Amino acid sequence: MQGRARRVGAEQVFELARHLTERDREVALCLYAQQVLTTEQLTLLFFSSKRRGQDRLLFLYRQRVVDRFYPASRFGSGKPPAHWLLDEAGAILVAASLDRDRRQLGWQRRADWASHPQLAHRLEVNRFVTDLVGATLPDPALGVSAWYGPRQAAARMGEKMRGTLRPDSELLLVTRAGAVDLLLEWDRGTETQERLWEKLRRYRTAEHKIDYDERGPRSVLFVVPGARRLRTLRDAYAEVNREGAWPILATTAAELCRAGPLAPVWQRLDHDEPPCALNALPVRHDLDDLDPRLALGRRWRYDRSDFWEQLSPLACPLEADASRTAAASETSEPGDPPAHDATAVEQPAMSADAGDAEVQCPEAGEGLVARLRRLEEELQADIAAARAARRAGRPAADLRLSGIDGFMDDHDEDDDLNEEGSWR
């Protein structure tokens, strides 16, 4: 990642937008939410073959939309796969897609990802989710319809729980019975039993503060390293002493590796029941319109009839997309699959409790290119103001893209649990 410190301006991204596609924008949004994904994982989510994925990712790398690094590996094990991150041009593209000021994005380019203390944790979380996506593909009735990163999952908990809960991921798993809402906690055995107790207590508090009765419960999943840690988690839950309707389940990483994420390996902590599978958990009643044919791993398959229509250039204004969608809905027949918004790779169907602007893409009232133009004008205005301040002898404003996003910041043992940062 060395040698790529040159800044990228909005004007360059505006010119680049003529060569980018809706899929490229979704790749950038996904990397913004999940932070680091391998070539294999991005291929599963967005491409029909590994060769197509490698070629497109190389193009995006050369255009500074994405960056990459190769973590250290054992001697003789071969070169590790490329790990992909968001880069400068990708950050500007994401800011325009979310209609946010670039300095509010919560992103900064870093050169130390290969040795970052939270890298292993993030990779394991993302591996679990992409394994789950891959496991659903053979069954047309199953699918991961949405994957929310920690920032989005925390925002979807609502204002009443702001700063108190930050799941590692939230997933909407479409099953034959309906959509199951899953909150994932990936535990690497680094927290004390007291912290586990506090986390479990806050989930029980959340279900009483969030009005979910009409929508159905969420299910909380804990993945722990082994059987001893599972017993520690059970002991922590036994001290919570609070009943609730949200199922709280746990399994070990070894069981997942052996049987797979869809196997009946999830043990209830709140009830004495046999292990169950994820598709047997209670469903959300307000998400019945999710279509498994549009789930992650299926939307960008080359054999889809609407592949080329979806793979439209970003230079095409979103107003045209909206009009095409409206026209398609007027001419569709009963039973046809619902129209799908190309900007919704992270949240194809927003539920009633997802009101935070941080997790929502803007409406199609303004084209992406227009927002890129506006970002360019803001950047030029900031530069002019900074130059004027220097000439007048005043301190110039900080023109960096943003600060480091908190949930992947380095762990501080003295962090208070009431802070919005990670508990890890």
List C-alpha distances in Å: 92 to 37, 67, 358: 19, 14, 15
Question: What is the Cα–Cα distance from 407 to 107, expressed in whole angstroms?
Answer: 11
User: 424 pLDDT band (50/70/90 cuts)?
Assistant: very low
Count Cα atoms within 13 angstroms, Cβ side, for 29.
Answer: 27
- Strand, helix or coil at 222? strand
d(CA 25, CA 66): 11
Q: Where are the domains of the chain?
A: 1-116+372-407, 117-299+345-362
At 2 the three-state DSSP class reads coil
Q: Please, which pLDDT band fits residue 209 given cuts at 50, 70 and 90?
A: confident
Instruction: Give the mean pLDDT of the chain.
Output: 77
Q: What is the DSSP string of 53-109?
A: HHHHHHHHHHTTSEEEE-----TTS-PPPPEEEE-HHHHHHHHHHHT--GGGS----
Q: What is the mean pLDDT of residues 364-382?
A: 63
Query: Given phi > 0 = left and psi -120 to 50 = alpha, else beta, which region is 178?
Result: left
Q: Is the pLDDT of residue 410 over 50?
A: no
Please list, in sequence order, all residues whose beta carbon lies within 8 angstroms of the beta carbon of residue 396, skipping any fewer than 6 positions away: 386, 389, 390
Predicted confidence (pLDDT) at residue 384 exceeds the cutoff of 80: no
Distance CA 89, CA 9 (A): 8
Model pLDDT, residue 244: 82
Q: What does the pLDDT read at residue 141?
A: 93
Residue 143 pairs with which residues in a beta bridge?
174
Residue 232 phi, psi dihedral angles, 5° rounding: -60, -40
What is the average pLDDT across 105-131? Answer: 81
pLDDT score of 216 more than 80: no
Cβ pair 389, 395 in contact under 8 A: yes
pLDDT recorded at residue 95: 87
pLDDT at site 262: 95
pLDDT average, residue stretch 106-113: 68
Helices of type H across 241-294: 253-259
Task: Reply yes or no on whether the pLDDT at 127 is more than 70.
Answer: yes
Concatenated DSSP letters of 102-159? GGGS-----S-GGG-TTHHHHHHHHHHHHHHHHHHTT-TT-EEEEEE-HHHHHHTT-G
pLDDT of 65 reads 93
pLDDT of residue 114: 64
For residue 154, is pLDDT > 70? yes
Please give the C-alpha separations between residue 79 and each of 57, 65, 82, 131, in angstroms, as whole numbers. Answer: 18, 23, 9, 22
pLDDT tens, residue by residue, 291-343: 899 999 998 988 787 888 778 777 565 444 444 444 444 444 444 333 333 33
| 191 pLDDT tier (thresholds 50, 70, 90) | confident
- Identify the H or E element spanning 160: none
pTM for this model (two decimals): 0.75
Q: Residue 195: enclosing H or E segment and its boundaries?
A: helix 193-209
Q: What is the pLDDT of residue 159?
A: 78
Taking Cα atoms as reference points, which of 291, 289, 267, 286 lies closest to residue 278?
267
Minimum mean pLDDT among 59-63, 73-77, 160-164, 177-181: which range?
A: 73-77
Q: End-to-end alpha-carbon separation of the chain, Å? A: 26
- pLDDT, residue 311, reads 80
How confident is the model over 189-202, as a mean pLDDT?
90
Beta strands in 129-287 (DSSP E): 143-148, 169-174, 179-186, 219-224, 248-252, 267-268
Which of 77-81, 286-290, 321-325, 418-422 has the largest mean confidence?
286-290
**Residue, of 415 and 127, whose pLDDT is higher:** 127
pLDDT band at 406 (very low <50, low <70, confident <90, very high): very low
The three-class DSSP label of residue 372 is helix
* 1-116+372-407 belongs to CATH 1.10.10.10: yes
**394 CB-near residues (< 8 Å, 6+ apart):** none
pLDDT tens figures, 132-141 = 999 999 999 9
How many C-beta atoms surround the C-beta of residue 92 within 10 A? Answer: 29
Of the candidates 405, 31, 421, 422, the one whose C-alpha atom is nearest the C-alpha of residue 188 is 422
Q: What is the pLDDT, as a whole number, of residue 368? A: 66
pLDDT of 134 reads 96
